[in-house]
Amino acid sequence: MDVKLEYEEPTVEVSVRDVDKVFKGKDKEVTALKQVSFNVHKNEVVSLLGPSGCGKSTLLRLMTDLLQPTSGSISIEGNDPKYARLQRKLGIIFQTTTLFEWRNVKENIELPLEIMGKSKRERSETALEMLELVGLSKFMKQYPRQLSGGMQQRVAIARALSLDPPILFMDEPFSALDEFTKEKLHLDLMEIKRKTKKTIIFVTHSIPEAVFLSDRIIVLSAHPGRIHSIFEINLGYDRKPEIRETKEFFDYITQVRSCFYEEGD
Ligand SMILES: Nc1ncnc2c1ncn2[C@@H]1O[C@H](COP(=O)(O)OP(=O)(O)OP(=O)(O)O)[C@@H](O)[C@H]1O
C-alpha cells in the first residue's frame, strides 16, 4: 500500500534576526544583547534561560514593543511588534502582578475587554470562561488583597488571555512564589496550553522550570547577552508531575546546567 506521509513545516510565529540592544547612559553604554537570532513556532513553548543580567527581560521587552532594537529586526506573525501589540496579538504576564486593588477578580479580567469597547455581556461571558480556565470561578467577587500570590498570578494569566492573543509572553511569572504553588502553576500552564493552543515565550532563571515547561530552551550567556545554546526538550506534549522524577528529566537538567559551567564561561 502506498502511504503518503505529509509533513507540515511548523509556522514561524516570532522571528528575531540579528538583534543588538545597546543602552546608552550618560557616561557609559551597556550592550545588553548582541547578534541574537531565533524563531519561535506556532504552539511552541520556548524558554529564555540564563543568569541575571544576560538580557532575557530586554529580549522579551523588544518582542513586545516595550523597547526598540538598536539594530536587527523582530517580526510577529510577519509584522512588526508594534503592529502585533496594537492588534492585541500579545499577552504579557510579569513577575509581579499588576492587578487593580479596587476591582474584584472578575472586574480585573474584564478590564482589557472594557478598554476594547466590548459589550457588558461579552465582557462578562469571556471573564467567566477565563475564570473557569484558571480555576478561580469561586473567587470572582474577591479583591486581589484577599488572594494568595499564586491566585493573583492566575488572575493575571486570565486577564492576559481575555483578548485571546495567540502569543503569551511571561517574564519570570512564578519566581516570587513558593515551590508548591509554583509546581501547581506549572501544571495549570500546561493545561492552558493544551486547551488554548497558545504559543508561549517564557523567561526564567530556573533550569527545572524551563525543562518541565518547554519544547525548546534558548540559553543566553551574559555580557553581552548572546545565544549560547538551544536545547530541544522531548518530554512529550502533555506533561504530568511524575515527569520530574524520571531519568530523562534529570538528564536534560544536567545537560542544560553543564553549559553554564563550561570552561571560560
Ligand atoms: N533601561 C536600561 N538602561 C540601562 N541598562 C539596562 C536597562 N535595562 C537593562 N539594562 C542592562 O542590560 C543588561 C540586561 O538586563 P536584563 O534585565 O534584560 O537581564 P535579565 O537577564 O532579564 O536579568 P534578571 O534575570 O536579573 O532579570 C543588564 O546589564 C542590565 O543592567
Task: Give the domain CATH number at 17.
Answer: 3.40.50.300
Domain boundary among 117, 135, 164: 164
20, pLDDT greater than 90: yes
With a Cβ cut-off of 6 Å, ligand 1 is lined by 23, 25, 30, 32, 50, 52-58, 205
Domain boundary among 141, 164, 187: 164
176, pLDDT greater than 60: yes
In the prediction, which pLDDT does 4 show?
A: 60
Q: What mean pLDDT value characterizes the chain?
A: 91
In the prediction, which pLDDT does 7 show?
A: 63
Mutate to test the pocket of ligand 1, among 22, 28, 33, 57 (most ligand atoms within 8 A of CB): 57
Residues 180 and 80 in one domain: yes
CA 47 and chain centroid, separation: 7
Residues 177 and 84 in one domain: yes
Share above pLDDT 90 across residues of the chain, in percent, rounded to a whole number = 68
Q: CA-to-CA distance for 227 and 49, rounded, in angstroms?
A: 10
- Please report whether residue 202 resides in a domain: yes
Q: Characterize 48-69 residue by residue with b for buried, 16 or more Cβ atoms within 10 angstroms of its Cβ, and e for exposed.
A: bbbeeebbbbbbbbbbbbebeb
Residues 85 and 105 in one domain: no
Residues 160 and 111 in one domain: yes
Residue 223 alpha carbon, nearest atom of ligand 1? 29
Region 91-120 average pLDDT: 91
Share above pLDDT 70 across residues of the chain, in percent, rounded to a whole number = 95
Domain that holds residue 141: 99-164
1, pLDDT greater than 60: no
In the prediction, which pLDDT does 150 show?
A: 87
In the prediction, which pLDDT does 8 show?
A: 67
Closest Cα to atom 25, ligand 1: which residue? 52
Domain boundary among 115, 141, 164: 164
Residues 243 and 254 in one domain: yes
Total domains present in the chain: 2
- Please report whether residue 206 resides in a domain: yes
